[in-house]
């Protein structure tokens, strides 16, 4: 046999084996979705709509400067809850932490079982001065028009508070009794860090030795056309939250006259450092929650994409390169670098004696603040630049194995039967992190279907929700309480 013939034969054999193995893996990858058992809950639409609409009218606004917060509005909101949910206030124990952190306890039949917590917050972000006129409906009107409810908090996150309370009132009227203790915790300062609300409630529970099986907070939602290769809507449940760090790079030294500059000026050095960081970037790695996301969605993908994602062992570098092309997916697989402030110079003909820059970094679970500092110092290779890093580490990663995650997944499937429910990594912060100290797992999921426009509306203009979506959220909370007590 001629040499080239032998090579061809070997090559074809390899290719055949490769194809058989990879196609086999693609065809046998098992779905990680439970069958939805369509919810039978029927929600009183008019009452539910009235309640969310009224909830929006209370201006429970959080300001960075706490002195600006109008607590009379918070008082009125709490009074409204007592009026609107009589059964809840009769049957459950309400405890107020720091006056406005609302902690409801629903006693279960078996207190030997670990409790479960649902949480959300009723403070909202302000409407930016000068943007009020851009709203189609007044931001605190709670206007109901064309099957939509309008206003601040309809998505973030009065829908969570009202959705949970509607579910509770419904279950109480049905005569439902939970097997285990349930806690419902509503924060009042989530938008400014949650220290007096969620954190204080978690600290109180910790002092009492309470440890949840899981806590569910706001977070991911049902999205469409955001996960490549998946036709169906995807419900993403946050299982961890990225850390957030601020790095300050600063340099001080002689300035001088701009007519005789040194070859390296302070501005030049800081600028070079930032350029180096942007050119280098943290290494990308499809691991942790990002990897979990694709493990859950891969079986539901069209064949081509499923082929790639079922064979990560060989295609991982390709997948990572593709994910790095879009900022949203790049953020899923690496710690991100965003220079946000650059300061230097006052006069056009004087070299500044100081220059500094601030970089906001969002940390992958596994990259610590110390790792960030080391990475910056090693990348910029300039000892004259001082690097200071502060901020918060990524949260722990909650489990997707076992019952707790399955319960969240099942409850979501019972309402959104055609959606794929998958874990993912949250980029933004929420109250959930405060509950890490008292919970084996913390999940982050807002049970509504949202678009990318909705995401912009959450802290922006024209925040609203469709009534259908809101009713589904209530049904989800009914289902999650039932699933948690099976
Ligand atoms: Zn929120």
pLDDT at residue 263, as a whole number: 80
**Does residue 405 have a pLDDT over 80?**
yes
> 326-335: per-residue pLDDT in tens?
998 999 999 9
pLDDT at residue 244, as a whole number: 94
365, 330, 192, 458: CA torsion to nearest 10: -140
Strands 234-241 and 336-344: unpaired
Compute the distance from residue 434 Cα to the ligand 1 centre, in Å.
14
Closest C-alpha to 436, from 215, 287, 123, 154: 215
Q: Catalytic: which of 123, 169, 291, 483?
A: 123
Phi, then psi, of 409 in degrees rounded to 5: -60, -45
Phi, then psi, of 80 in degrees rounded to 5: -60, -45
Of the pLDDT bands very low, low, confident and very high (cuts 50, 70, 90), residue 352 is very high
**Does residue 224 have a pLDDT over 70?**
yes
- For 74-134, give the DSSP string: HHHHHHHHHHH-HHHHHHSEEEEETTTEEEEEE--S-TTSPPEEEEEE--BPPPPTT-GGG
> 15-53: per-residue pLDDT in tens?
999 899 899 889 889 999 999 889 989 999 999 999 999
- Mean pLDDT for the stretch of residues 172-190: 97
Closest C-alpha to 147, from 59, 49, 26: 49
- Mean pLDDT for the stretch of residues 459-464: 93
Compute the distance from residue 326 Cα to the ligand 1 centre, in Å.
25
88, 90, 92, 97: CA torsion to nearest 10: 90
The whole-angstrom separation of Cα 201 and Cα 195 is 9
Q: What is the largest CA-CA distance in the chain?
A: 92
Range scoring the smallest mean pLDDT among 50-54, 321-325, 480-484: 321-325
Compute the distance from residue 474 Cα to the ligand 1 centre, in Å.
17
User: Across the strands, what pairs with 244?
Assistant: 362, 392
User: Across the strands, what pairs with 243?
Assistant: 363
> 70-112: per-residue pLDDT in tens?
999 999 999 999 999 999 999 999 999 999 999 999 999 987 8
- Say whether 483 is catalytic: no
pLDDT at residue 325, as a whole number: 92
pLDDT at residue 341, as a whole number: 95
- Say whether 123 is catalytic: yes
pLDDT at residue 232, as a whole number: 93
pLDDT at residue 359, as a whole number: 97
Compute the distance from residue 71 Cα to the ligand 1 centre, in Å.
19
- Is the separation of the CB atoms in 167 and 229 below 8 Å? no
- Is the separation of the CB atoms in 173 and 41 below 8 Å? no
pLDDT at residue 1, as a whole number: 62
**Does residue 2 have a pLDDT over 80?**
no
Of the pLDDT bands very low, low, confident and very high (cuts 50, 70, 90), residue 313 is confident
- Give the number of other Cβ atoms within 10 Å of residue 145's Cβ: 11
**Element at 341 (helix H, strand E):** strand 336-344
Tokens of 484: 């948690």
pLDDT at residue 226, as a whole number: 81
Of the pLDDT bands very low, low, confident and very high (cuts 50, 70, 90), residue 293 is very high
% of the chain at pLDDT higher than 70 = 100
Compute the distance from residue 212 Cα to the ligand 1 centre, in Å.
21
Domains parsed from the chain with CATH numbers = 45-228+235-240+396-484 (3.40.630.10), 242-392 (3.30.70.360)
Compute the distance from residue 153 Cα to the ligand 1 centre, in Å.
8
pLDDT at residue 473, as a whole number: 98
pLDDT at residue 449, as a whole number: 95
Of the pLDDT bands very low, low, confident and very high (cuts 50, 70, 90), residue 454 is confident
User: Across the strands, what pairs with 220?
Assistant: 445
Compute the distance from residue 433 Cα to the ligand 1 centre, in Å.
13
Compute the distance from residue 97 Cα to the ligand 1 centre, in Å.
19
> 241-272: per-residue pLDDT in tens?
999 999 999 999 877 788 888 888 999 999 99
pLDDT at residue 452, as a whole number: 82
pLDDT at residue 257, as a whole number: 81
pLDDT at residue 138, as a whole number: 95
Compute the distance from residue 187 Cα to the ligand 1 centre, in Å.
10
Q: Catalytic: which of 190, 241, 292, 483?
A: 190
Compute the distance from residue 430 Cα to the ligand 1 centre, in Å.
6
Compute the distance from residue 101 Cα to the ligand 1 centre, in Å.
15
**Residue whose entry in the numeric block shows the structure tokens 């809950």:** 41
Compute the distance from residue 457 Cα to the ligand 1 centre, in Å.
12
% of the chain at pLDDT higher than 90 = 84
Of the pLDDT bands very low, low, confident and very high (cuts 50, 70, 90), residue 354 is very high
- Mean pLDDT for the stretch of residues 468-481: 97
pLDDT at residue 46, as a whole number: 97
Compute the distance from residue 305 Cα to the ligand 1 centre, in Å.
33
- Is the separation of the CB atoms in 482 and 408 below 8 Å? no
pLDDT, greater one: 124 or 5: 124
- Mean pLDDT for the stretch of residues 470-482: 97
Tokens of 184: 């419902």
Compute the distance from residue 428 Cα to the ligand 1 centre, in Å.
10
Tokens of 307: 């082929």
């Amino acid at each position: 046999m001629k040499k080239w013939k032998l090579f061809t034969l070997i090559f074809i054999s390899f290719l055949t084996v490769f194809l058989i193995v990879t196609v086999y893996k693609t065809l046998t990858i098992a779905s990680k979705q439970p069958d939805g058992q369509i919810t039978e809950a029927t929600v009183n639409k008019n009452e539910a709509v009235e309640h969310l609409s009224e909830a929006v009218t209370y201006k429970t606004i959080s300001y960075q400067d706490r002195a600006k917060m109008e607590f009379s509005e918070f008082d009125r909101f709490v009074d409204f809850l007592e009026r609107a949910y009589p059964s809840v206030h009769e049957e459950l124990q309400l405890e107020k932490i720091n006056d406005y952190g609302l902690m409801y306890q629903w006693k279960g039949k078996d207190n030997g079982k670990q409790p479960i917590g649902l949480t959300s917050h009723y403070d909202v972000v302000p409407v930016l001065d000068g943007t009020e006129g851009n709203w189609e409906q007044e931001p605190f009107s709670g206007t109901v028009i064309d099957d939509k409810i309008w206003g601040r908090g309809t998505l973030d996150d009065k829908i969570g508070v009202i959705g949970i309370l509607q579910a509770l009132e419904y279950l109480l009227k049905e005569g439902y009794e939970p097997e285990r203790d349930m806690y419902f915790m509503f924060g009042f300062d989530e938008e400014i860090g949650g220290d007096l609300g969620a954190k204080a409630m978690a600290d109180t529970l910790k002092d009492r030795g309470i440890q949840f099986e899981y806590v569910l907070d706001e977070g991911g939602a049902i999205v469409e056309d955001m996960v490549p290769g998946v036709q169906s809507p995807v419900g993403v449940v946050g299982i961890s939250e990225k850390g957030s760090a601020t790095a300050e790079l600063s340099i001080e030294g002689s300035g001088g006259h701009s007519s005789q500059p040194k070859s390296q000026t302070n501005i030049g050095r800081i600028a070079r450092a930032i350029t180096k960081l942007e050119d280098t970037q943290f290494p990308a790695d499809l691991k942790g929650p990002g990897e979990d996301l694709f493990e859950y969605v891969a079986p539901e993908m069209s064949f081509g994409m499923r082929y790639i994602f079922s064979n990560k062992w060989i295609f991982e570098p390709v997948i990572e390169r593709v994910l790095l092309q879009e900022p949203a997916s790049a953020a899923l697989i690496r710690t991100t670098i965003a220079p946000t402030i650059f300061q230097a110079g006052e006069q056009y003909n004087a070299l500044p004696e100081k220059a500094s820059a601030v970089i906001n970094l969002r940390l992958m679970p596994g990259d610590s603040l110390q790792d960030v500092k080391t990475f910056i110092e090693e990348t910029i290779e300039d000892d004259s630049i001082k690097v200071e890093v502060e901020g918060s580490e990524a949260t722990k990663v909650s489990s997707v194995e076992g019952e707790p995650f399955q319960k969240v997944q099942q409850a979501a499937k019972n309402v959104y039967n055609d959606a794929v429910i998958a874990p993912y990594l949250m980029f933004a912060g929420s109250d959930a992190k405060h509950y890490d100290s008292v919970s084996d797992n913390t999940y982050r999921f807002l049970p509504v279907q949202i678009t990318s426009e909705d995401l912009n509306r959450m802290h922006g203009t024209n925040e609203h929700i469709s009534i259908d979506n809101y009713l589904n959220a209530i049904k989800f909370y009914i289902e999650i309480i039932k699933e948690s007590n099976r």
